[in-house]
């Protein structure tokens, strides 16, 4: 079994933590900042960060269209927090000029759980992940307001959807990369393997 | 462990934990945090790709020029900036002025900078940062100073540099100092770490943690004196995980253009061709100050102990 090559979008955000978590989950991981680097990877993680900044940098540095094309062509993608926002087909409470890649038929509300002072951690039951709940670290986190028929809800917190999958695309409101628990990354790496 | 805070916890969820506070800074990595003094500048910073803004009444260059006591900003101004942008908003309190910090927390800022650029309120103590749910960033010129701030609860460290000079030399000195001291610890055995902790005037557990990790347990940014795209890239190549830019942007000829150029150079810090392109036709840079000519009393980096 070969280990898939997974890129982490490195425009801005907690790239290093994702690289470490992916390596722990038996993937070969590397940062991706340029279209030619994107072309080489089997799959992509979009890290946590500031979604408006990340969207802006993707436009400024010519990454938006290449990213959209790869997502459309079926590349497996996992987005955390800002990454979830990037993967939403539709966005609430974003900037008017904020671009997303799409990929999951869902409406995501930005900063839905509040600003930094409302940020929190909680245990989250995650469908398809065994061994007890995962630790969810929510930082200025979004939630999923609603999903289309093709999307599957994998986790909720206090009635709000916080993890979603549609085909090859996975998104969480929270940051498993900050906890040292690699099970969500392993779940994604398995998704990538299944498609190779 | 000594670095963990005493924060209210429930079985279900917890706010203001160490992980949440430090995690916030992780999300800013690779980015540029810009000083702004009004909502209009905050929007320019956001449009240029800043990852957060620092709301303050006067940028360091003006604090130098005007003299007098520099304090926390007007709450109205901070609220206007919070309203104007969707990126995180930071604001500065004086060293040891925990009431200013309480006010900033009540305004809902995303990060508090206990900053030597403002006039210190306490010449012995820094604020007890564990007492807040809002995370703190503090400046440091060396590893001991950084670890003392982390022991007090800082969730992010920035090297100090010499703010408001447009001269990167002190930022380079402080970042190299911190990195070198960390590298030295890596080679120490347990016996030596106790002595190192004594010398650093920092808790042994923290010193041991740094020796094991090979880095600070919190995010390390650079600040103080960045004025050009190449300055920003230099700090990144020296190991800063992102940069603060103060007077360098809004004291230059074309702030919007310079801000965007510094963001680009920070992202592509290891690509000289992109930095060269970003450095073209930026207009006038801020007029710098040679740090050698600064009288001792005007060196902000010496504030904080």
Query: Binding site for D-glyceraldehyde 3-phosphate: residue ranges of B?
Result: 176
Measured distance CA(A68)–CA(A75) in Å, rounded: 10
Measured distance CA(B106)–CA(A174) in Å, rounded: 25
What band does B93 get if pLDDT is binned at 50, 70 and 90? very high
- Is the pLDDT at B155 greater than 70, yes or no? yes
- Catalytically annotated residue among B43, B65, B92, B160: B92
What band does B7 get if pLDDT is binned at 50, 70 and 90? very low
Handedness of CA B296, B299, B301, B304 (dihedral sign): positive
Residue A137 to residue B12, Cβ atoms within 8 A: no
A99 carries an active-site annotation: no
Using CB atoms, pick whichever of B20, B50, B268 lies closest to residue A139.
Answer: B20
Secondary element (H or E) of residue A16: helix A15-24
Using CB atoms, pick whichever of A48, A111, A122 lies closest to residue B12.
Answer: A122
Q: Which residue of A has its CA nearest to B85?
A: A95
- End-to-end CA distance of chain A: give it in Å, rounded: 10
pLDDT digits (tens, 9 = 90+) for B97-139: 999 999 999 999 999 999 999 999 999 999 999 999 999 999 9
Range of the domain at A80: 5-194
- The answer to which of A177-186, B60-69, B241-250 has the lowest mean pLDDT is B60-69
Average pLDDT of span A96-102: 90
What DSSP string runs through chain B? -TTS------SSEEES-HHHHHHHHHTTTT-EEEEESSHHHHHHHHHTT-SEEEE-SS-HHHHHHH-S---PPPHHHHHHHHHH-SS-EEEEEETT-HHHHHHHHHHT-SEEEEETTSPPS-SS----GGG-SS-EEEEESSHHHHHHHHHTT-SEEEE---TTS--THHHHHHHHHHHHHHHHHHT--HHHHHHHHHHHTS-HHHHHHHHHHSS-SSEEEB-S---SHHHHHHHHHTT-SSEEE-HHHHTSS-HHHHHHHHHHHHHTTT-HHHHHHHHTT--PPPPP--GGGS-GGG-GGG---
Q: With helix as H, strand as E and coil as C, how does A29-71 read?
A: EEEECCHHHHHHCCEEEECCCCHHHHHHHHHHCCCHHHHHHHH
Secondary element (H or E) of residue A156: strand A152-157
Residue carrying the six token digits 């999951």: A104
Say if residues B15 and B58 touch (Cβ distance below 8 Å).
Answer: no
Residue B214 touches chain A, beta carbons under 8 Å: no
Backbone angles phi, psi at A14, to 5 degrees: -90, 65
Secondary element (H or E) of residue A78: strand A77-80
Say if residues B31 and B51 touch (Cβ distance below 8 Å).
Answer: yes
Q: Give the HSE-up count for residue A193: Cα atoms under 13 Å, Cβ half-sphere.
A: 14
- Please give the model's pTM, rounded to 2 decimal places: 0.94
What band does B295 get if pLDDT is binned at 50, 70 and 90? confident
Query: Binding site for L-glutamine: residue ranges of A?
Result: 49-51, 110, 139-140
Give contacts of A14 with chain B, Cβ < 8 Å: 23, 26-27, 29
- Catalytically annotated residue among A18, A99, A177, A185: A177
CATH number of the structural domain B16-300: 3.20.20.70
Determine which of A55, A61, A139 to mutate to test the interface with B (most B C-beta atoms within 10 Å): A139
Say if residues B94 and B115 touch (Cβ distance below 8 Å).
Answer: yes
Q: What is the pLDDT of residue B287?
A: 64
Structure tokens at A76: 């497996």
CATH number at residue A119: 3.40.50.880
Query: Which bin fits B90, alpha (ψ -120 to 50), beta or left (φ > 0)?
Result: beta
Top-confidence residue, A168 or B9: A168
Residue B156 touches chain A, beta carbons under 8 Å: no
Q: What is the pLDDT of residue A127?
A: 97
B43 carries an active-site annotation: no
Residue (of B210, B211, B231, B209) closest to B222 by Cα position: B231
Q: What is the pLDDT of residue B1?
A: 37
Give contacts of A173 with chain B, Cβ < 8 Å: none
Give contacts of B263 with chain A, Cβ < 8 Å: 57, 60
Q: What is the pLDDT of residue B294?
A: 74
Determine which of A10, A11, A12 to mutate to test the interface with B (most B C-beta atoms within 10 Å): A12
pLDDT digits (tens, 9 = 90+) for B205-226: 999 999 999 999 999 999 998 9
Query: Binding site: residue ranges of B?
Result: 35, 164, 176, 225, 246-247
Residue B49 to residue A15, Cβ atoms within 8 A: no
- The answer to which of A129-143, B51-65, B116-130, B173-187 has the lowest mean pLDDT is B51-65
Give chain B's largest Cα–Cα span. 57
- Is the pLDDT at B166 greater than 90, yes or no? no
In sequence order, which residues have a C-beta less than 8 Å from that of residue A155 and are 6 or more positions away? A124, A125, A126, A127, A136, A161, A162, A163, A172
What band does B305 get if pLDDT is binned at 50, 70 and 90? confident
Measured distance CA(B53)–CA(B109) in Å, rounded: 10
Residue A160 touches chain B, beta carbons under 8 Å: no
pLDDT digits (tens, 9 = 90+) for B183-211: 999 999 999 999 999 999 999 999 999 99
Q: Give the HSE-up count for residue A95: Cα atoms under 13 Å, Cβ half-sphere.
A: 21
Residue carrying the six token digits 């409302």: A118
Residue (of B137, B133, B151) closest to B242 by Cα position: B137
Residue B27 to residue A14, Cβ atoms within 8 A: yes
Residue A137 to residue B23, Cβ atoms within 8 A: yes
Q: What is the pLDDT of residue B34?
A: 97
pLDDT digits (tens, 9 = 90+) for B237-285: 999 999 999 888 988 889 999 999 999 999 999 999 999 999 999 987 7
Residue B267 to residue A121, Cβ atoms within 8 A: no
Q: Where are the domains of chain B?
A: 16-300
Most confident range (mean pLDDT) of A187-196, B162-171, B281-290 is A187-196
C-alpha pair distances (Å), A172 with each of B16, B37, B101, B233, B275: 21, 35, 32, 32, 34
The whole-angstrom distance between A124's CA and the closest CA on chain B is 10
């Amino acid at each position: 079994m070969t280990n898939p090559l997974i890129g982490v979008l490195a425009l801005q955000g907690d790239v290093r933590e994702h690289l470490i978590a992916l390596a722990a989950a038996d993937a070969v991981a590397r940062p991706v900042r340029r279209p030619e680097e994107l072309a080489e990877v089997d799959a992509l993680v979009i890290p946590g960060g500031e979604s408006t900044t990340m969207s802006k940098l993707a436009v400024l540095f010519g990454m938006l269209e290449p990213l959209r094309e790869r997502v459309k062509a079926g590349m497996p993608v996992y987005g955390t927090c800002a990454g979830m926002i990037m993967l939403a087909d539709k966005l609430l409470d974003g900037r008017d000029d904020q671009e997303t890649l799409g990929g999951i038929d869902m409406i995501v509300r930005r900063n839905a759980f509040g600003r930094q002072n409302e940020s929190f951690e909680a245990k989250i039951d995650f469908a398809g992940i065994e061994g007890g709940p995962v630790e969810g670290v929510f930082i200025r986190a979004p939630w999923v307001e609603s999903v289309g028929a093709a999307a599957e809800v994998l986790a909720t917190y206090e009635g709000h959807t916080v993890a979603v999958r549609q085909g090859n695309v996975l998104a969480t409101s929270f940051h498993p990369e900050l906890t040292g628990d690699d099970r969500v990354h392993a779940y994604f790496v398995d998704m990538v393997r299944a498609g190779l | 462990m000594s670095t963990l805070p005493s924060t209210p916890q429930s079985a279900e969820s917890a706010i203001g934990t160490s992980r949440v506070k430090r995690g916030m800074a992780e999300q800013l990595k690779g980015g540029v945090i810009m000083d702004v003094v009004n909502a209009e500048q905050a929007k320019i910073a956001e449009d240029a790709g800043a990852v957060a803004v620092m709301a303050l009444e006067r940028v360091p260059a003006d604090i130098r020029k005007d003299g007098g006591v520099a304090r926390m900003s007007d709450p109205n101004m901070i609220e206007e900036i919070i309203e104007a942008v969707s990126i995180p908003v930071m604001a500065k309190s004086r060293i040891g002025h925990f009431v200013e910090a309480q006010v900033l927390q009540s305004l809902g800022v995303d990060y508090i900078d206990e900053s030597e650029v403002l006039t210190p309120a306490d010449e012995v103590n820094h604020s007890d940062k564990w007492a807040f749910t809002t995370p703190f960033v503090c400046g440091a010129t060396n590893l001991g100073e950084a670890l003392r701030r982390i022991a007090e609860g800082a969730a992010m460290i920035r090297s100090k540099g010499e703010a408001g000079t447009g001269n990167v030399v002190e930022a380079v000195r402080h970042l190299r100092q911190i990195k070198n001291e960390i590298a030295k610890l890596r080679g120490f055995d347990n016996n030596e770490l106790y002595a190192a902790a004594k010398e650093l005037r920092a808790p042994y557990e923290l010193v041991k943690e740094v020796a094991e990790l090979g880095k600070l347990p919190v995010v390390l940014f650079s600040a103080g004196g960045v004025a050009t795209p190449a300055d920003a890239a230099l700090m990144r190549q020296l190991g800063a995980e992102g940069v603060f830019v103060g007077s360098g942007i809004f004291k230059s000829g074309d702030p919007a253009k310079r801000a965007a150029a510094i963001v680009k150079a920070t992202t592509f810090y290891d690509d000289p061709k992109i930095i060269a392109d970003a450095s073209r036709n930026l207009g006038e840079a801020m007029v710098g100050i040679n740090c050698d000519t600064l009288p001792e009393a005007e060196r902000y980096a010496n504030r904080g102990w």
